Structure 1
Amino acid sequence: MSNRTMSRMTAAGVAAVAGLAVLAPAVANAAAGPGPAAVTQSSVQQPAHLTVASYKAYLKKNWKKGGRETAVAFAKLTPARQAQFLRHLEDRKVYAAFLKQVKGNFELPLHVVDPYNKDVVFVTDVTAHVAKDKAGTLTVRFSVSERVFGIPVTTETITVKGATKGQDKSKKAVAIAKLQNVNAAVSITAGPTRAASKGVITRGSVTWTAKPQVQAFGKKKLVKDQDAAAAITKATRTFEASLSNE
C-alpha cells in the first residue's frame, strides 16, 4: 500500500526486515503511559445523531484541543456540506476503514493519500531518521489522519525511538502515542504504549479504543492497533508500520 518500494537489501538487511514480523511487541519500557486524553464529551443520554448545533457546542467545549481550528473550517462549509460532514463522522464504516500498512527506507519521508470516497481521504505520513548523537538514536514517526472535505477529523500517531549503538543499544526503546480527535461521534482513548528492542529491530505500539457517543455509530466500541518498527543494519535502514483493526 506504500507508494515507495524498498531498495534491494543485503542478506543481513533481509534478515532484519524478516525480524519485524516475528518480534512480539512485548513491554520493554512503557515510557509514555496512556496517550493524551481524547476530546471530552458529556455522556448523558446518547443522541441518535449529531446536529450542527450539537457539533458547534462540542467544538466550543474543546476549543484548545483542535476545536477552534475545526470550528473555523466547519463554518466555511455550506449547510448541505455541514450536514454531510456530520453524517461521515457518525458513519461507523468510515472509522472502521481508517487503516494503513506501509514500509520504506530511512531518510525518505513517506506521504500517501488514500481516498475513501469523494468527501473523505486518509492521509499517511512517516518520517524516519538516525541522529548523529552518541547513541545513534533512531526515530520513526507514523501518523494517519482522516480528513473530511479537507478538514482533519482524527489523527492517530505513534513515535518510536531507540539507541542503535553504544551501551544503550537495545535498552532504551520508547514509544509515544498522540491523538488529535474532533469527531464528536466517538471518544477515542489510548492504552499504554509498548516498546522493545531486540538485535537490530526496534518496535513500538499502542492500542486505540473508540467508544460511540451517538446511536448512529452503533453500540460496540472499535479497537485499533498502531505499530511502527525499524530495522537498522550496517547495510540498510528500513521501517514498517501499520494501523489495523483488532
Structure 2
Amino acid sequence: MLTSTTGRLTTAAIATAAGLAVLAPAAHAADAAPAKLSVPAYEKYLKQQSTPAAKKAAAKFAALNKNQKAVFVKTLQDQKVYKALTGRAWGKIRNVTTTDRYNKNVTFVTKASFKIAKDKHRTTTATFSVTEKIFNIPVTTEGATLIYPTIGKLPGVTKASADVFNINAAIRIDATSAVKGNFTTARIVAVPQVKAFGKKAVKQATLRATKGDFIGKLANQK
C-alpha cells in the first residue's frame, strides 16, 4: 500500500532579530518559496529521499541527459501537467492497468487492484491510483484504498486511506480520507513549494467497491 501522506521540500523564513520575530507578521509560505525548481535543487532533493522507490527514481534521473533533466524539472513545476493527472476505472472486480499519454515525455498510469484475504469474511483490499511518469520515471501517485468484508452482512466494518507517493519537489502533498460503508473519499491538496507552480491545487480520489463491481476516480476540485 502506498504511503498515506507525504511532505517534501520544507522551506521556512528565519527571523534574525527577536524584535522582528515578535513585531512582524509571519511570512507566508509562498513568499518564502524559491521562484522555480532547478536541476541541482532537484538532484539535492532526491538525495534526501529514503524510500526504495525514490532511490530507484533518483538513479533513473541521474541517467538522463542534460536536456532531458531540464525538461523533467520544468514539467514538475507545470501545474497544467499536474492537473491533467486524473483517471477513472470501473467494472467487475479485477485488476486493471491503463496508460494514457499526455505528451511524448509524460504518461499517466491508472491502476485498480484487489487482494482477497483467506479469512472468514473474505476481507478484500481494493486500491485505486493514478501515477504521473516523466520519461517513464514515476513522480507522483494519488489514489485511495478501501478494505471491506465480502461475506456476512454488508457493508460490515470498512477501513480506508488516502494514498500518495510524491517525489515532485515543486509541491508538497497533504491528504485526508473519509469512509462510509463501501465508499471512500480522499481529499488531496498539492501545496506549492516553488512560485512557478502557482496556487495550491486540490483533487479528490473516490473508490466504491462491493462483492462484484467497483468504480474509482481521481478528479480536480474547484
Q: TM-score range by the shorter chain?
A: 0.7 to 0.9
- TM-score relative to the length of structure 1: 0.76
In the TM superposition, what are the counterparts of 1:1-246 in structure 2 within 5 Å?
A: 35-44=4-13, 45-64=32-51, 66-106=53-93, 108-166=94-152, 169-191=154-176, 193-197=177-181, 202-218=182-198, 220-232=199-211, 237-246=212-221
Distance 2:163 2:7 in 1: 10
SS in 2 for 1:63: coil
Pick which of 81-90 and 43-52 moved more. 43-52
Unpaired runs of at least 5, structure 1: 1-33
Distance 2:12 2:47 in 1: 17
Q: Aligned letter for 2:70? A: A
Distance 2:214 2:148 in 1: 13
Distance 1:129 1:54 in 2: 39
Shift, 1:132, TM fit: 4.4
Matched residues, number: 201
Higher RCO structure, 1 or 2 (CA under 8 Å, sep 6+): 1
Provide the aligned C-alpha RMSD in A: 1.8
The verdict on how the C-alpha distance between 1:61 and 1:131 changes in structure 2, with shifts beyond 3 A counting, is closer
Q: Aligned letter for 1:39? A: R
Q: Is the 8 A contact 2:143 2:186 kept in 1?
A: no
Tell me the equivalent position of 2:18.
none
Shift, 1:166, TM fit: 2.5
Q: Aligned letter for 1:98? A: L
- TM-score relative to the length of structure 2: 0.84
Shift, 1:129, TM fit: 5.0
Q: Is the 8 A contact 2:88 2:110 kept in 1?
A: no
Shift, 1:179, TM fit: 1.5
Q: Aligned letter for 2:112? A: V
